[in-house]
Amino acid sequence: MAAKEDIALTIERQAAARRLLADPLITAHSHPEDFALVQAHSDWLIRRFQRVLGYELVVADDHARLVKTGLVRTVTTPLLRTSGAPFTPRAYTYLTLTLAALAETAPHTTVAELAAGVRDAARDAGLALDPEARLGERRAFVAGLTRLVDWGALTETDGSLADYAADGTHRVALAVNHGIAAHVLARAPHSTTTPEDFVALAQHDSVSADEHAVELTLRRLLAETAVVYRAELGDAHRARLAGHQWRAAAELAELLGCETEVRAEGVALIMPGETAADARGVAQPATFPGTGPVGQAALTLLSRLATMLAPSQSSHTVPIPADLLDAELAAVVDDARQWSRTALSHVPDPDDLAERVLFRLRDSRLLDRTAADAAERLTEGWRLLAAAARYRDSAFARSGAE
């Protein structure tokens, strides 16, 4: 009996750790079951995250915040609108200005009062922004408000933000949870800090040559990215991975309950099946293929490209001809849209879906396209990465050769 209880305890702790890694801010509102687990195992989680990844975990009465440091430029998990589209820079700006305005907002307010506070915050920051100036501004403002509602920092007590987004005359009453709002930002910038200094400070330990910092960076890369390719690491990190990869794998397995796949080209963590992309507007780039038409189309496209181009395990990248990518992408996007119509689910327009498919594969470290390669044509400059070889379809390869 004791052994079964220990196994159940471990499974609960690891499930809570995976949720926090995927969603650094969880609340009793956004993830009630997961938050209950985090509260129950808070002492273990706080110690383990600090020791294994160097992350600080703050657990309050109604929310938990995992404060991540390092890898700012390496790992990005963009916020998503309710439509599934990523936040625009303007939406991020309004979210930040809203957080600034919330610091001085009463526990109960209206969206009109909050918009006035955002205008004042924008003026103080030297920005000519008005969330009520026109439809586009209002929608960007509401995108940030909707995320705050999802997190539990705001609650709609009367009226609907969706109605306000369509018609700015609608009144919406809001309740403010200042404790959660204060933890949306992992680290608030100081008044004298430039954006460049702020990012550099958060990134500092991932570029340090200190032995402990190198180890932390490798563990964070393994935990936060889909695949760590040896060819992309610097000399110090590549040597550390070669000599300590199994120790890092054991530490991460104890924290997250994951398995480790080690190959000549790199290392990847394989998470348990229930760690899927969250539907609440936080992108999970390490989850592949995920659910819905984007994931299914991405998996089909990758299998066809990997079979046609046949990347070898010793080759880190294989260029994808733009004309080939055009044809294959058009085919899988059309298939995905046909499938989605039968499932009665919403699907983006073809161009938007094609872009999301490619970016899903890029974020999963299966395709790559550097800033220098990017061109006006969506399908130019892409390469298959080594891990794509595991998705080759042998049956498709045989039929194509006949």
> What pLDDT was estimated at residue 275?
44
pTM above 0.85, yes or no: no
pLDDT single digits (tens) 303-332: 999 999 876 666 778 999 999 999 999 888
CB-CB neighbours of 267 under 10 Å: 20
pLDDT single digits (tens) 348-371: 677 788 888 898 898 888 998 876
Residue 401, token pair as written in the block: 């050769």
Residue 33 CA to residue 312 CA, distance in Å, equals: 44
Residue 182 CA to residue 184 CA, distance in Å, equals: 6
> What pLDDT was estimated at residue 377?
81
Burial of 346 (0-12, 13-18, 19+ CB in 10 A): exposed
pLDDT grade for 211, boundaries at 50, 70 and 90:
confident
SS3 of residue 270 by DSSP: strand
Q: Are 151 and 184 in contact (CB under 8 A)?
A: yes
pLDDT single digits (tens) 2-30: 566 688 899 999 999 999 998 899 999 88
Residue 137, token pair as written in the block: 């501004």
Spell out the domains of the chain, with CATH numbers in brackets: 1-69+195-284 (no CATH), 89-182 (1.10.10), 292-401 (no CATH)
Phi, psi of 290 (to 5 degrees): 85, -170
- Residues shown for the chain: 402
Pairing of strands 228-229, 108-110: unpaired
pLDDT grade for 74, boundaries at 50, 70 and 90:
low
pLDDT grade for 342, boundaries at 50, 70 and 90:
very low
> What pLDDT was estimated at residue 92?
93
Residue 190, token pair as written in the block: 């100081």
Burial of 210 (0-12, 13-18, 19+ CB in 10 A): exposed
In angstroms and rounded to an integer, the radius of gyration of the C-alpha atoms of the chain is 23
SS3 of residue 277 by DSSP: coil
> What pLDDT was estimated at residue 39?
95
> What pLDDT was estimated at residue 282?
40
Q: Using the predicted structure, report yes or no on whether residue 401 has a pLDDT greater than 60.
A: no
For residue 176, give the nearest of 197, 200, 151 by alpha carbon: 151
> What pLDDT was estimated at residue 192?
59
Residue 250 CA to residue 245 CA, distance in Å, equals: 9
Place of tokens 């989850």: 287
Pairing of strands 259-262, 266-270: antiparallel
SS3 of residue 199 by DSSP: helix
pLDDT grade for 208, boundaries at 50, 70 and 90:
low
Mean pLDDT for the chain?
83
